[in-house]
Amino acid sequence: MKFGVIAPSTNTIVQPEFGWMAPHGVTNHFSRIHIPDDPLTSDADFEELMVRIRAELFQAVDRVMTARPTAIVMGMSSETFWGGLQGSIELKKKIGDRANGLPVAMGSDASQAALRCFGDITRIGVVTPYMPVGDSEVTKFFSDCGFEVVAIEGLKCDSPTSIAHVDPKTLRNAVERVNDPQVEAILQVGTNLCFAKLAPMAEFWLDKPVLAINTVTYWHALRMNGINDKVYGFGSLLQDY
């Protein structure tokens, strides 16, 4: 199985994390969305970043298609949540059409599918690297899907590449802040946050699902393409479902 993975040029985390999770015989082939590493200091800056991602997205799909992948995986999550559930559905169709009908795995679809593996979960906490406008889009998406975002912690990272430099202690503290007693599961979004190996630690201590976006996206890509290998070290999702 060859996955064609689409990721921003500033992202240094999704590629190694996907590589760690790949079963024998599955390979990841990256195509980069070129974006500058401009400062992010406001909602307006973040929205401009999204405009630049959209302008380059389909060229990245075209490039990876020359490797003849068997499925497309979105190695970025912000755009997949934008515009709520309907926006996510439309984006998936556009990418699939551009990729000649290949199956497309996205963080938005993967997140709701992963949460439903754990039973009747409705109340979630979310950690993001985004500005408030991005957090609002994430909240809208999950609301459209029937989930209540009880708590959300946006880290307001000051540039695209700085997201990858958020240290484990900061991420741990963010998880603790969204761990409201009402929260039944915690989800981290933003594929450039290095969280795939921290999530299972938090899951063990908090005794509730703690899901990293790169883990849920890769799990969804594997399962939707008929690959049921268990992968250990990344939490209960890849191990048990």
Rounded to the nearest integer, the mean pLDDT of the chain is 97
pLDDT computed for residue 223 by the predictor:
98
Task: Report yes or no: 163 and 195 within 8 Å, Cβ to Cβ.
Answer: no
- ∠ Cα 150 53 195 (to 5°): 45
Kindly state the helix (H) or strand (E) to which residue 7 belongs, with its residue range. Answer: strand 2-8
123-128 and 148-154 beta bridge pairing: parallel
Q: Which fold has domain 111-212?
A: Rossmann fold (3.40.50)
Query: Does the predicted TM-score (pTM) go above 0.85?
Result: yes
> pLDDT of 114-148, one tens digit each?
999 999 999 999 999 999 999 999 999 999 999 99
Task: Report yes or no: 179 and 155 within 8 Å, Cβ to Cβ.
Answer: no
The label of the residue with tokens 């169709």 reads 93
**Residue 240: is it exposed, middle or buried by C-beta count within 10 angstroms (0-12/13-18/19+)?**
exposed
Q: Provide the 10 A C-beta neighbour count for residue 142.
A: 23
Q: Do domains 2-108+215-232 and 111-212 have the same CATH topology?
A: yes
- Please tell me what DSSP assigns to residue 131: -
Is the CA virtual torsion 90, 47, 145, 58 positive or negative? positive
Q: Helix 107-116 to helix 132-144 angle, to the nearest 10 degrees?
A: 50
pLDDT computed for residue 198 by the predictor:
98
Task: Please state the φ and ψ torsions of residue 49, each to the nearest 5 degrees.
Answer: -60, -40
Rounded distance, CA 220 to CA 214, Å?
A: 10
Q: Provide the 10 A C-beta neighbour count for residue 106.
A: 25
Of 129, 193, 134, 156, nearest in space to 41 by CA: 156
> pLDDT of 153-209, one tens digit each?
999 999 999 999 999 999 999 999 999 999 999 999 999 999 999 999 999 999 999
CATH match of 2-108+215-232 with 3.40.50.12500: yes
Q: Provide the 10 A C-beta neighbour count for residue 235.
A: 26
Task: Please state the φ and ψ torsions of residue 69, each to the nearest 5 degrees.
Answer: -70, 165
Average pLDDT on 33-59 reads 95
The domains of the chain are located at: 2-108+215-232, 111-212
pLDDT interval class at 47 (50, 70, 90): very high
Max Cα–Cα distance, the chain, nearest Å: 49
2-8 and 71-74 beta bridge pairing: parallel
Percent of the chain with pLDDT over 70: 100
Percent of the chain with pLDDT over 90: 100
Rounded distance, CA 202 to CA 172, Å?
A: 8
Rounded distance, CA 203 to CA 236, Å?
A: 8
Strands in 147-229 per DSSP E = 148-154, 185-188, 210-212
